[in-house]
């Protein structure tokens, strides 16, 4: 049993799909304090900050798992969670017909071990169809998603190529974590 220190439904789904028993509760942590504009630095700092907050809030009776993800546009710009529908439209417009990288960082800590990993999965998308994009925006499914992107949902049919794990793109590189869970 591990403690998933995240409110992400995608991360919880991944753990379930891989048969990992967990409880889920996020610590108090404000990502808005992070000022870097470099994607890998942002997710590392956020994941590390969440871990530090989780250790203080929950202790280490159960192994703790924290993660963060952002989308990096082709020009290196970080595409974070959309603030509202217009912001989501803008962010998804940047991704349409372009290449993006979804960068995720995890921190996994037990009393004896600290595992840190930052990974990326790269996608090349076909242009999004206007009616399809509008339906996705109206659905609200983009809310709470880095860059409003759902590679397992809306974006899936637009993927022209992928390099990396889908799990990393969904916010948690489970394949990297699994070997460390077997040492428990």
pLDDT tens digits, residue range 57-73? 999 999 999 999 999 99
pLDDT of residue 134: 97
pLDDT of residue 120: 96
As a whole number, mean pLDDT of residues 27-32 equals 94
As a whole number, mean pLDDT of residues 43-65 equals 97
For 52, the 3-state DSSP assignment is helix
CB 139 within 8 A of CB 64: no
Q: What is the pTM of this model?
A: 0.87
pLDDT of residue 126: 98
Q: What tens digit of pLDDT does each residue of 103-143 get? A: 999 999 999 999 999 999 999 999 999 999 999 999 999 99
CB burial class (10 A; 0-12, 13-18, 19+) of residue 52?
middle
Strands 2-4 and 22-24: parallel
How far apart are the C-alpha atoms of 180 and 5, rounded to whole Å?
A: 17
pLDDT of residue 184: 53
Tell me which of 21, 68, 84, 132 is the catalytic residue: 68
Whether residue 131 lies in the annotated active site: no
DSSP 98: S
């Amino acid at each position: 049993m591990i403690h998933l220190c995240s409110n992400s439904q995608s991360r919880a789904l991944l753990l379930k799909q891989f048969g990992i028993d967990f409880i889920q509760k996020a610590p108090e942590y404000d990502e808005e304090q992070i000022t870097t504009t470099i994607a890998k630095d942002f997710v590392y700092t956020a994941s590390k900050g969440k871990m530090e907050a989780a250790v203080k809030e929950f202790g280490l009776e159960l192994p703790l798992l924290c993660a963060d993800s952002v989308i990096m546009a082709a020009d290196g710009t970080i595409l974070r969670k959309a603030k509202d529908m217009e912001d989501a439209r803008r962010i998804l417009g940047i991704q349409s017909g372009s290449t993006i990288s979804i960068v995720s960082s995890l921190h996994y800590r037990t009393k004896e071990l600290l595992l840190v990993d930052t990974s990326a999965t790269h996608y090349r998308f076909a242009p999004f169809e206007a009616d399809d994009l509008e339906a996705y925006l109206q659905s609200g499914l983009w809310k709470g998603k880095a860059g409003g992107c759902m590679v397992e949902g809306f974006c899936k049919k637009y993927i022209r190529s992928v390099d990396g794990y889908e799990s990393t793109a969904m916010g948690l590189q489970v394949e990297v974590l699994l070997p460390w869970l077997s040492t428990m």
